Amino acid sequence: MLKRRDSAYQSGRKVGHWYKWKREPLVADCVMMYAQRGNGRRASFYSDYTFGCWNEAGELLPVGKAYSGFTDEELKWLDRFVRQHTVGRFGPVREVEKQLVLEVAFDSIHESKRHKSGLAMRFPRISRIRKDKPAEEADRIATLQAIVT
């Protein structure tokens, strides 16, 4: 948020002394690893996706989880994909075949002790389903480490 120092906050103002500035998101091609059912109107769909990138040893390691960015039609397609490609179940979580590439938009990436990859995306969202790209060509952890902020 950019603002003039002498301006007072006024809720709901569309113009004036306050300006909400957003930069273009960063993007990475990641592989879907796990899915979980959503909440509310998405409770019957697998709409929460954990995704990862490849390390130097060829292992797929998680870098984030996203719940948004796709259309209702894409949600139905992704739900069908999860149901047809499940290879394991851990309570409410389904592990899927590591073959679907998702283009993930995010604001920044940081070091993380939570993810095995050592990285975590800030505000990730699915920007595109990459049916055209094989999982082996998804981004590498080293690529993401180069943009850690």
E-strand spans in 91-131?
93-96, 101-106, 108-111, 119-122, 125-130
Q: Model confidence over 75-108: pLDDT tens digits?
A: 999 999 999 999 999 999 999 999 999 999 999 9
**Domain definitions of the chain by residue range:** 24-145
Rounded CA separation 36/92 (Å)? 6
pTM value is 0.84
Share of the chain above pLDDT 90, in %: 74
Rounded CA separation 146/149 (Å)? 9
Confidence of residue 6 (pLDDT cuts 50, 70, 90): confident
Q: For the chain, what is the mean pLDDT? A: 90
> Which of the pair, 148 or 134, is modelled with greater confidence?
134
- Residue 40: left if φ>0, alpha if ψ -120 to 50, beta else—which one? left
Q: Model confidence over 43-74: pLDDT tens digits?
A: 899 999 999 999 999 999 999 999 999 999 99
Domain 24-145 homologous superfamily, CATH: Nucleic acid-binding proteins (2.40.50.140)
